Amino acid sequence: MNGFTNALVITNIKTKIIPMVLFNLILFLKKLNYCLINLNSWAKNCLINNRFFISDIVKDKLLKFFNKRLISLEIEVFLNSIFNRFTPINTIKMPSILELEKTASQVRRDIVRMVNAVNSGHPGGSLGCADFLVALYFEILNHHPTQFNMDGTNEDIFFLSNGHISPVFYSVLARSGYFPVSELSTFRKLNTRLQGHPTTHDGLPGIRIASGSLGQGLSVALGAAQTKKLNNDKGIIYTLHGDGEIQEGQIWEAAMYAAHNKVDNIISTIDYNHKQIDGDISDVLDLGDLNAKWQAFGWDVMEMNGNNMTAVVKTLNEAKTHLGKEKPVMIIMKTEMGQGVDFMMGTHKWHGNAPSNEQLTVALAQLEETLGDY
C-alpha cells in the first residue's frame, strides 16, 4: 500500500473503527445494566409477594441485597457520558415514522392478546390511542424508563386519566423499557401488578396515580405542573382523557383552575372517538363544540388526527412551542375506537368486551408482528 492508502487506513481506524468498537462496548454494558435492573426488580417483587418459600431471616437479607444498586449510579452516569461521547452521529436519531407505526402495530397485538387471555378489559379505546402513546413515549417525552421514580424530577410526566385503557398503557410502558415485556402476560390476573385499572400500591414503574375513577386525572396533573413551576423544573406534564370523561364535572373545575392560575407547562389531550360504554356520545350526553368550550375556558386549543402517526408527532411537537405563554394547551384528538381491527371499528361494543379466540385470530392477522409477541 502507498503512503496515501496507509494514512487513509490509519484515519479510518482512529475516526471510525475505534469509536464504533467503543460505542458497541458501552451499548453492551448499558444493556447489561438494564437486564440487571429488571432482574433486581423481579427478585424484589417475588420476595415481597412471598413467591419464594424461605424464612423471614433469609428474606430480609435478600431484600437488603436487592435494595442495593447492582451498578452504582456514578458508574451508570459514567457509562452514559462515554456512550454519548462515542455514539456515531448517524446513530443519534429518533425513530422514523415507519418505525413508530411498526411499534404501534406490535402494541395493538399486545392489546388484543392481553384482553383475550383473561376475557376482560377494554380493547376499543386502547387500540384507538396506540399511535398517540407510541409517539409520546418513543419520540416526544423526555423520560428515563430504567430510572423511574415517583417525583419525575427534571423529566416529562404523563398521566393517564381514562385508566380503563390500561392495556395500551401497559404495552407502551413495557415496550419502552419500564418493566419486562413478559409481564404483560399477567394482565388482570391474581397478584399481578397490571391491574385492570392502573394502581400504585404494587410499585409498577411508570404508574404515578391510580386512575380507575374518571375525571380526576386533570386535577392531579395540574398539581404536578404547578409543583414543577415552583421548583423551576422545565419538565412538561402530559395527560390523556376520554371524551366520555369530559362529561365529568371535575374536569371543568380543573379547566377553570388551570386557566386562572396560568398553568402553561401542561399539554392535555382528549381522545375524541365519539364513543363511550353506553353508546355514541351524541346520544348519551352531547359535548357540543369542544373546541369552542375549551377556548371559552381559557385554553389554547389544537386539533389532530390521532390515527395518523405523522400528524400526531407533528402536532405534539408544535404543542410544545405553545407552552410558556400563560395558557394551558388542549389537543382534541380524533380517533377511531378499535383502530387497526376492522370488526372493532365504528362501534362502541368493543369499549369493554374481549375478543374470542376465533376473533383474536382474525385480529392478529390484521396486525403485523414487528417486535415479537411476549
Residue bearing cell 416529562: 156
**pLDDT attached to residue 8:** 39
343's grid cell: 370488526
- In 3D, which of 243, 238, 363 has the Cα closest to residue 312? 238
Phi-psi region of 209 (alpha: psi -120 to 50; beta: other; left: phi over 0): beta
Helices and strands, counts by H and E, the chain: 14, 7
Helix axes 357-365, 97-118, angle to 10 degrees: 170
Residue type, 280: D
Q: CA-to-CA distance for 204 and 169, rounded, in angstroms?
A: 12
Question: What letter represents residue 284's amino acid?
Answer: V
Nearest alpha carbon to residue 211 among 187, 182, 257, 242 = 242
Place of cell 453492551: 28
Decide: 351 and 277 in contact? Cβ < 8 Å. Answer: yes
pLDDT digits (tens, 9 = 90+) for 270-294: 999 999 999 999 999 999 999 999 9
Which has the closest alpha carbon to 178: 211, 161, 195, 203? Answer: 203
Gyration radius of the chain's alpha carbons: 23
Bridge partners of residue 270, in order along the sequence: 241, 332
Cα–Cα nearest to 36, from 7, 1, 2, 75: 75
Give the whole-angstrom CA distance, residue 354 versus residue 350.
7
136 CB-contact burial (10 Å; exposed 0-12 / middle 13-18 / buried 19+) = buried
User: CA 165, CA 197: separation in Å to the nearest integer?
Assistant: 8
CA separation for the pair 345, 338 (Å, rounded): 5
Q: Determine the pLDDT at residue 38.
A: 57
Ranges in the chain, pLDDT < 50: 1, 4-15, 69-71, 73-74, 83-92
